[in-house]
Structure 1
Amino acid sequence: MATTHYLALEDVSCVLPDGTLLFAHLTETFDDQRRTGLVGRNGSGKTVLARMLAGLQPPSGGRCVRAGSVHYLAQQISTPAPGATVADLAGVQALLAALQRIEAGSTEPADFDTVGERWHIRQQLQHALEQHGLAHLRADTPASRLSGGEVMRVALIGALLSEADFLILDEPSNHLDQPSRQALIEQLAHWPRGLLVISHDRQLLDTLDRIVELSPLGLRSYGGNHAFYAQAKAHEQQNAVAELDRARLDRRREEQALRAQRERQEKRQARGARAGQQANQAKILLDRQKERSDHATGKLLRQQAATRQALAQRVREAAEQVADEAAIHLHAPPTAGVAQRLVAELDGVELPFVPEALRRISLQVRGRQRIGLTGPNGSGKSTLLKVLAGQIQPLAGRCQVITGAVYLDQSLGHLDPDRAVLEQLQQAQRTLDESALRMRLAQLGLDAQKVALPSRLLSGGERLKAALACALYADPPPPLLLLDEPSNHLDLPSLRALETLLTSYQGAMVVASHDPVFLEALGLTDRLEATGKGWRLGAVG
């Protein structure tokens, strides 16, 4: 069957508002025959490129060609407007409203145009909700009642119901529990049209047909899943490092040869000058001899300069082929508290917006306790964290939390989107000078240009690093960290750095995550699990 729908990049470039070149001269085709994963480091421009492919953002140069309709699902679902419903999140509210008007007797052509052939959309939406384990939701359920994971799942349902010729999904497995991630993989396996997935989720990427990597070198296509890509990438890096080593060795050897050549030339000049003086030659002959010698020396120096330049260029080109895997460095904050100090206590607290079995909880958190918060989407993990953070009031019971606790939600609301990262860090940390703070941000991968931008202009992973810096580098450091899915949006080097940082953090910590590998790396003392019979707290050991 011939390809009928595709997305194409033709010499596409992007220059940011501050003049930074994000990427340049990208040429690639994404067709409906190969389900493709787009990977790359945080800040490489994956989301910007996806928005360009979807027609939501024009390129600075070149052009994007779309043959067919495109549905784009962002990695950060916008906070639902007041009064928004499940139908709004799924993108079918206008369709349902037109259908309802027709059923009530409307003969407006616009309503029939809106509905088209989708007369069963109401039943399709409800069936999809039931298939995705969201049978408790209806089209008119207020979006404000949904958890972060449920919001993403409803948005994914909308994407799958869109009947678009091409789906572009940006980090779709973020916020999803493991059963939901597996369901997503199965649904995408049966998606019959074009698919482009931006992700760091290796489990999801392993189910796709090819991987395309965006890096400072441009776009590189790998004809296989993530495991094939990782193997090919490792082989490429071995070859690139070997070539860099050879280029550096050749440069050192050539430098030695050039020095020896120059020394021989200088000795010949010195011998010629002495011989001329001893032969008592006329001054005019000596001057001509010196002129010839100077000319030969100048020619030699020019040749050697050209050789050095060629060698240096070879080393630079070899170095460019070596991936920038420099470890992201994070400074461990000073001790944040005493081990047995009580930092949070819930006494008979009743949580709102959660299943009946999980509504009541009593919990004590002490100075260096590290609690992993687990459970399915919609079980109340985010609600519990918001109650501890003071953002939601419990229905009943007593909640006491130490002053200075920091909560980072899934949307990173702790970070002001309109202010520069450096400015926000300076407000939180007044002991260190600006150069020290800039260095710490640079060691997180946030360079001088990025720390001066409003944080909303950063990538998801960069915003998370900025939010963590503002929290953990604060003076004084927080005695309690409340983290809701902090590993989302991060590439693998950044994720390893985050694990290292949180492991060295000495305060109390409650972390909600669906990533078992990430939680295992944190050295948890306890796990608090949301089950069908209530909250279950147990020591890890």
Structure 2
Amino acid sequence: MSTFPTSVSATALDFTWPDGTEVFDDLQLAVGPGRTGLIGVNGSGKSTLLKLIAGELTPTDGSLRIAGEVGYLPQNVTLDTALRVDEALGIAATRAALHAIEAGDASEENFTAVGDDWDVEERAVAMLDQLGLGHIGLDRTIGEVSGGESVLLRLAALLLRRPDVLLLDEPTNNLDLFARRRLYAAVAAWSGVMIVVSHDRELLDLVDQIADLRSGEVVWYGGNFTAYEEALAIEQEAAERMVRVAEGDLKKQKRELSDAHVKLAKRVRYGNKMYAQKREPKIIMNARKREAQVSAGKHRIMHEEKLKEAKERLDEAIEAVRDDEEIRVDLPYTAVPPGRQVLTLRNLELAYGARVKGEFDLRGPERIALIGRNGAGKTTLLRTVTGELRPVGGEVETHVPLRFLPQRLDVLDGALTVAENVAKAAPDATNNRVRARLARFLFKGARADQLASTLSGGERFRAALAALMLAEPAPQLLMLDEPTNNLDMASVRQLTDALDAYEGALIVASHDLPFLESIGITRWLLLDGELRDTSLEEVRELMALN
């Protein structure tokens, strides 16, 4: 690791995509030692900023300085499946030279390749074990590991390199609950500069400061994500108070301007009356008239300027209040009476080995969390319930209308507008009804006429959710597969709002414990070879043991 201070700084940084879309204009940034959580709404430029720092993108203008070596874990990790694990870790050449020396080939070339890394194998094995990959040998190929394991493998390669600046982009997205704990431990132990983009609250509670990227600017908050939320709540309360003060001042200035107009009008009438009665010499009355007009003009201008200043203060106060809109919707037709049979699984065997022994029943408006390791078969189980996949054996019986939101969000037709997609799911609903319901999902007016293919990530999620929840017949069983993956904090809150209004049965496959706890889960299921009931307490105990 280099000996000089590590830092990342950007000065007057501009970046524009080839199609002309501007991301940054005159961005200023300075990141020092410690762990920084970079947050912001979908589309604010978080991943783009990491790619600029990593050197994968070039700024349009401005300067970007990174002191030391950079290690970058992208959001979507792709590794050559033919690579051996030691090659993916970047130690294959050193390891080969080390083995050659041990076999008696003491050439200068081999000693140069080893350098000071005589313990490279021990360090690599220890790092894999630390990240829960101790069962993966250095000679195995990447094709033999799961998607979540490949993310941790890429992280292991970075940690072995010991870069000065470590960049992590949504590192927990494809990790199960157990792998997340390993990653949390690695983040907590990191002592250099780290910038992590994430919506994972538990991960963000491990950082030392929060950088909030909003409208092309970075605002800094000391402490972790919990401290950020507390500071933001105080800030927003003050901002809302300033709006009320500014609104009161604006009303006062409008009232005073109106009173001034009345007074001036009275003076004009009185002056005209005096002029008409000619009680003073004409030259004196004309002089007084001019003075009165000048005085009246100054008086009017003064009040108009005060009114303008009051409007500007109100605009500034409103701008300081964050408008993270909330979904407010009523879904009475999704209600399921207590005890109503919703889903039955009998001796179910899934395509990839998992099974449901005996009979499993879901009754009434239960809220079920489906958890398990990556590759346990959670998605396969959900797709089998929908009928997309045929079971190897056993039966699936659904007793109510159901809808499924897959990880890929591919329930929308990109060639149709948002309103047309919802109308397709609810063919008997009138256009007015579709638009009125869509407005509750924050697609108001022309926003409902956007093509689905042009929506941002957060908008696409809301549109997909609207298409499912507003469908006819109304879904009384809703199944969601990793719904918070790739969602910003505002979108997760909007999803929580929508699920608060949902009155039917719910099955959510997720590794996001804080989210699961926030939506009122009533039953926890663990899929680990067989499907069985568990509890939140047992889940936490299992994570502590693994």
- CA gap of 1:21–1:469, structure 2 versus 1, over 3 A, is farther
- Which residues in structure 2 correspond to 1:132-143 (within 5 Å)? 132-137=131-136, 140=140, 143=143
Question: For the residues of structure 1 that align with 2:89 and 2:513, how far apart are their CA atoms?
Answer: 36
Query: 2:246 aligned with 1:250, yes or no?
Result: no
- Which residues in structure 2 correspond to 1:157-176 (within 5 Å)? 157-176=156-175
- The count of corresponding residues between Structure 1 and Structure 2 is 528
Aligned to 1:107: none
8 Å CA contact 1:150, 1:378 repeated in 2: no
Question: For the residues of structure 2 that align with 1:427 and 1:15, how far apart are their CA atoms?
Answer: 37
Q: Out of 484, 498, 508, which is 2:481 matched to?
A: 484
Q: Which amino acid aligns with 1:528?
A: L
Q: Deviations over 1:7-27 (max 9, x none)?
A: 222223455788666554320
- Which residues in structure 2 correspond to 1:31-46 (within 5 Å)? 31=32, 33-46=33-46
Q: Deviations over 1:262-319 (max 9, x none)?
A: 2221111110001111228899998887666555544444443332222211111122
Mean CA deviation greater in 393-402 or 248-257? 393-402
- CA gap of 1:359–1:59, structure 2 versus 1, over 3 A, is farther
8 Å CA contact 1:95, 1:114 repeated in 2: no
Query: Secondary structure at 1:483's aligned position in 2?
Result: strand
Question: For the residues of structure 1 that align with 2:304 and 2:533, how far apart are their CA atoms?
Answer: 70
Aligned to 1:465: 462
Aligned to 2:321: 322
What are structure 1's unaligned runs of at least 5 residues?
Answer: 105-110
Mean CA deviation greater in 375-384 or 16-25? 16-25
Aligned to 2:231: 232
Query: Secondary structure at 1:37's aligned position in 2?
Result: strand
What are structure 2's unaligned runs of at least 5 residues?
Answer: 101-109, 537-546
- Which residues in structure 2 correspond to 1:191-206 (within 5 Å)? 191-206=190-205
Q: CA deviation at 1:117?
A: 8.0
Query: 2:500 aligned with 1:499, yes or no?
Result: no
Question: For the residues of structure 2 that align with 1:451 and 1:118, how far apart are their CA atoms?
Answer: 60
Question: For the residues of structure 1 that align with 2:37 and 2:440, how far apart are their CA atoms?
Answer: 29
Aligned to 1:264: 263
Q: Which amino acid aligns with 2:48?
A: V
Mean CA deviation greater in 277-286 or 515-524? 277-286
Question: For the residues of structure 2 that align with 1:442 and 1:24, how far apart are their CA atoms?
Answer: 33
Query: Secondary structure at 2:238's aligned position in 1?
Result: helix
Q: Which amino acid aligns with 1:11?
A: A
Q: Deviations over 1:468-489 (max 9, x none)?
A: 2232233444443221222344
Aligned to 2:515: 518
Question: For the residues of structure 1 that align with 2:10 and 2:75, how far apart are their CA atoms?
Answer: 22
Question: For the residues of structure 2 that align with 1:363 and 1:473, how far apart are their CA atoms?
Answer: 28
- CA gap of 1:248–1:17, structure 2 versus 1, over 3 A, is farther
Q: CA deviation at 1:211?
A: 1.5
Question: For the residues of structure 2 that align with 1:418 and 1:100, how far apart are their CA atoms?
Answer: 54
Aligned to 2:334: 335
Q: CA deviation at 1:38?
A: 1.3
Aligned to 1:409: 406
Aligned to 2:54: 54
- CA gap of 1:492–1:384, structure 2 versus 1, over 3 A, is same
Query: 2:471 aligned with 1:474, yes or no?
Result: yes
Query: Secondary structure at 1:334's aligned position in 2?
Result: helix
Aligned to 2:13: 12
Aligned to 2:103: none
- CA gap of 1:3–1:99, structure 2 versus 1, over 3 A, is closer
Aligned to 1:306: 305
- CA gap of 1:343–1:120, structure 2 versus 1, over 3 A, is farther
Aligned to 1:384: 381
- CA gap of 1:335–1:241, structure 2 versus 1, over 3 A, is closer
Aligned to 2:540: none
Q: Which amino acid aligns with 2:347?
A: G
Q: Deviations over 1:437-458 (max 9, x none)?
A: 4973684489967984765872
- CA gap of 1:95–1:34, structure 2 versus 1, over 3 A, is closer
Query: Secondary structure at 2:496's aligned position in 1?
Result: helix
Query: Secondary structure at 1:266's aligned position in 2?
Result: helix
Aligned to 1:108: none
Q: Deviations over 1:413-446 (max 9, x none)?
A: 4456798756644543443538954973684489
- Which residues in structure 2 correspond to 1:60-99 (within 5 Å)? 61-77=61-77, 84=81, 92=88, 96=92
8 Å CA contact 1:389, 1:482 repeated in 2: no
8 Å CA contact 1:42, 1:462 repeated in 2: no
- CA gap of 1:98–1:15, structure 2 versus 1, over 3 A, is same
Q: CA deviation at 1:30?
A: 1.7
Q: CA deviation at 1:35?
A: 1.6
Aligned to 1:27: 28
Question: For the residues of structure 2 that align with 1:155 and 1:354, how far apart are their CA atoms?
Answer: 28
8 Å CA contact 2:419, 2:434 repeated in 1: no
Query: Secondary structure at 2:38's aligned position in 1?
Result: strand
- CA gap of 1:340–1:372, structure 2 versus 1, over 3 A, is same
Query: Secondary structure at 1:482's aligned position in 2?
Result: strand
Aligned to 1:211: 210
TM-score (structure 1 length as normaliser): 0.78
Q: Which amino acid aligns with 2:179?
A: S
- CA gap of 1:353–1:63, structure 2 versus 1, over 3 A, is farther
8 Å CA contact 1:367, 1:508 repeated in 2: yes
Q: Deviations over 1:109-134 (max 9, x none)?
A: xx999999879877765554433334
**RMSD of aligned alpha carbons:** 4.7
- CA gap of 1:263–1:2, structure 2 versus 1, over 3 A, is farther
How high is the sequence identity, in percent, across the aligned residues? 33
Mean CA deviation greater in 253-262 or 485-494? 485-494
Query: Secondary structure at 1:200's aligned position in 2?
Result: coil
8 Å CA contact 1:210, 1:225 repeated in 2: yes
Q: CA deviation at 1:239?
A: 3.1
Question: For the residues of structure 2 that align with 1:369 and 1:132, how far apart are their CA atoms?
Answer: 35
Q: CA deviation at 1:140?
A: 4.1
Query: Secondary structure at 2:334's aligned position in 1?
Result: coil
Question: For the residues of structure 2 that align with 1:456 and 1:150, how far apart are their CA atoms?
Answer: 33
Q: Deviations over 1:305-344 (max 9, x none)?
A: 3322222111111222223344343453733767766554
